[in-house]
């Protein structure tokens, strides 16, 4: 198994899950946001420092692996809006490089980390909901999805797309940006000030990183299905204002101030996953609870 971006926040938890289940894993990461400290020392783990925008050497890395898990990306809307050129280099050209390497070396399966940002609809979205991204980030993910669909149709490589919703569960700050759950907890415990962009009525579907890792394992174990797309979320919506209130109530021992900043551009108002397809076809059901996590992290 080869995992690009495997030293990142989500990627490292996926790698740990695969190792627990007996897989040999090669990690390819440029360590721009990933961290070697995220990875265990393990006899079935090898790590390569490489930027996926450089096609040179990729064929040697993917040759002979059972599947490629492609997680490397510029992972947030603000980062992609700030540097559109780099976003396309990594999120689109990088996928093309991986796809070509798989074709040329006979790799039969690719599991791709996409995003809820591909959807244009507001509300509960299923895999058949309209896709018309509002952001550069979402657009790069959708272009990559289409490339992989064509890879399946033209080359017969099994391609699984996981549209990941809002992930939380970062146990240490490290490199890279924090999602809003972990950012709120970190800010509440340090500065006592929570920053909300807009009115706070934006609704999000929060899923723990360990549930994401479990979903990836199930996708890896599902073979021979052609091209498949799955939402990976909790299936439940929580507003940013409700999340802030939960953190405030949990910390309890000090006053927590909430300040409202201007709304972020390209921000979807309401985004919740219909996860019935993943439950039906992958047997995936999230186990971890947002409220319990906040109470453990912020209340301790």
pLDDT at 173 over 90: no
pLDDT score of 251: 87
Q: Tokens for 170, please give them.
A: 């970062």
> Looking at the domain that runs over 2-167+208-232, which CATH code has it been given?
3.40.50.720
As a whole number, mean pLDDT of residues 239-246 equals: 96
For residue 12, what pLDDT band results from cuts at 50, 70 and 90? very high
pLDDT score of 176: 64
Q: Is 22 exposed, middle or buried, given 0-12, 13-18 or 19+ CB atoms closer than 10 A?
A: exposed
Which position has the higher pLDDT, 300 or 17? 17
> Domain limits of the chain?
2-167+208-232, 169-204+236-271+288-298
Residue among 137, 139, 168, 230 flagged as catalytic: 137
Length of the chain: 300
CB 134, CB 266: distance < 8 Å: yes
pLDDT at 297 over 80: yes
174-199 pLDDT, tens digit each = 666 789 999 999 999 888 999 999 99
Q: Which CATH architecture does the domain made up of 169-204+236-271+288-298 adopt?
A: Alpha-Beta Complex (3.90)
For residue 113, what pLDDT band results from cuts at 50, 70 and 90? very high
As a whole number, mean pLDDT of residues 277-298 equals: 94
293 catalytically annotated: no
39-98 pLDDT, tens digit each = 999 999 999 999 999 999 999 999 999 999 999 999 998 899 999 999 999 999 999 999
C-alpha to C-alpha distances, 72 to 26, 101, 189, nearest whole angstrom: 13, 15, 30
Question: What's the gap between Cα 41 and its chain centre?
Answer: 23
CA atoms within 13 A on the CB side of 158: 15
pLDDT score of 23: 97
């Amino acid at each position: 198994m080869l995992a690009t971006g495997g030293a990142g926040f989500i990627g490292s938890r996926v790698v740990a899950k695969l190792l627990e289940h007996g897989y040999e894993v090669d990690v390819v990461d440029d360590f721009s946001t990933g961290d070697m400290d995220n990875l265990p020392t393990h006899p079935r783990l090898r790590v390569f420092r490489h930027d996926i925008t450089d096609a040179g050497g990729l064929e040697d890395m993917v040759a002979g692996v059972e599947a490629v898990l492609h997680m490397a990306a510029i992972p947030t809307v603000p980062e992609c809006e700030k540097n559109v050129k780099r976003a396309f280099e990594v999120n689109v050209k990088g996928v093309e490089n991986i796809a070509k390497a798989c074709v040329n070396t006979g790799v039969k399966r690719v599991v791709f980390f996409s995003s809820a940002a591909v959807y244009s609809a507001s509300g509960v979205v299923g895999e058949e909901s309209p896709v018309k991204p509002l952001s550069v980030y979402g657009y790069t993910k959708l272009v990559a999805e289409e490339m992989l669909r064509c890879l399946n149709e033209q080359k017969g490589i099994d391609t699984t797309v996981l549209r990941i919703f809002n992930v939380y569960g970062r146990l240490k700050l490290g490199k890279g940006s924090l999602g809003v759950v972990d950012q709120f907890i970190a800010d509440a415990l340090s500065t006592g000030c929570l920053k909300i962009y807009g009115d706070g009525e934006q609704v999000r579907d929060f899923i723990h990183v360990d549930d994401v890792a479990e979903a990836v394992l199930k996708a890896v174990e599902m073979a021979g299905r052609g091209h498949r797309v799955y939402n990976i979320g909790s299936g439940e919506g929580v507003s940013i204002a409700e999340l802030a209130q939960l953190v405030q109530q949990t910390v309890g021992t000090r006053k927590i101030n909430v300040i409202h900043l201007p709304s972020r551009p390209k921000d979807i108002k309401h985004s919740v996953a219909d996860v019935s397809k993943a439950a039906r076809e992958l047997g995936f059901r999230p186990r971890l609870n947002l409220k319990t996590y906040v109470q453990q992290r912020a209340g301790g």
